[in-house]
Amino acid sequence: MIDDEPTLELDYKSLHPRLLYNMDGLEAPEDCYALNGFDRDLVKSASLIAFNSDSFEQAVRALIKDAQITSEEAKAVLNAYQEANQPIANYLFKGSWKRLQNLDSHLVDLVLGAATLKGVPVLPVHDSFIVNTRYSSWLRTQIQKAYKELTSFDAPVDWEDMDELEIELFT
């Protein structure tokens, strides 16, 4: 609740890999964490670890610890992710987090700047935003506008904690 009103969370879908694709002028896959044969949550974890690690070996160790899997499983998912995302593979295992966090912060700044000008209370949480449901459509537009301004690409935005009927009511 914000100001005694219900809220919802709007979230950039697959933000970090999508940013890398788009900043290189490339369309991103619909879901950058979808990888046949692997659980989506594991792929998301592997992806984020790969972008934040300085080497493949460091990523393997971090994924083993994070996902509580074997070395073979960690290597398999990291290799599969790298293979499936060849256009951005040059950003894996090279500490790309610095660039990603900088881009991420520019997006958040654009969204919060627009919300401040309109007087809309928004709570940012990493790459998502919590807002009163009455402002959800407006905020979704601002989130998409900020992404387009930064990358020249459209960004899919997920609605969190809403069922399909509620989404239809607010769009």
Determine the Cα–Cα distance for residues 106 and 129; give it in Å rounded to an integer.
Answer: 14
Please give the pLDDT value at position 164: 47
What's the alpha-carbon Rg for the chain, to the nearest Å?
17
3-state secondary structure of 100: helix
pLDDT tens digits, one per residue of 126-137 = 889 999 999 999
Please give the pLDDT value at position 60: 98
Give the residue-averaged pLDDT of 60-86: 98
pLDDT greater at residue 170 or residue 49: 49
Q: State the chain's mean pLDDT as an integer.
A: 93
| CATH class of domain segment(s) 7-13+97-170 | alpha beta
87 burial level (CB within 10 Å; 0-12, 13-18, 19+): middle
Give the residue-averaged pLDDT of 137-161: 92
Number of H helices, E strands in the chain: 7, 4
DSSP string, 76-88: HHHHHHHHHTGGG
Please give the pLDDT value at position 1: 87
What is the b/e burial string over 129-166, where b = at least 16 CB atoms within 10 angstroms of the residue's CB? Answer: bbbbbebbeebbebbbebbeebbebebebebeebeeee
Domain-wise residue ranges, the chain: 7-13+97-170, 40-84
Place of tokens 């293979």: 83
Please give the pLDDT value at position 125: 94
pLDDT tens digits, one per residue of 13-22 = 999 999 999 9
Q: Is the pTM of this model over 0.85?
A: yes
Please give the pLDDT value at position 163: 47
pLDDT tens digits, one per residue of 35-58 = 999 999 999 999 999 999 999 999
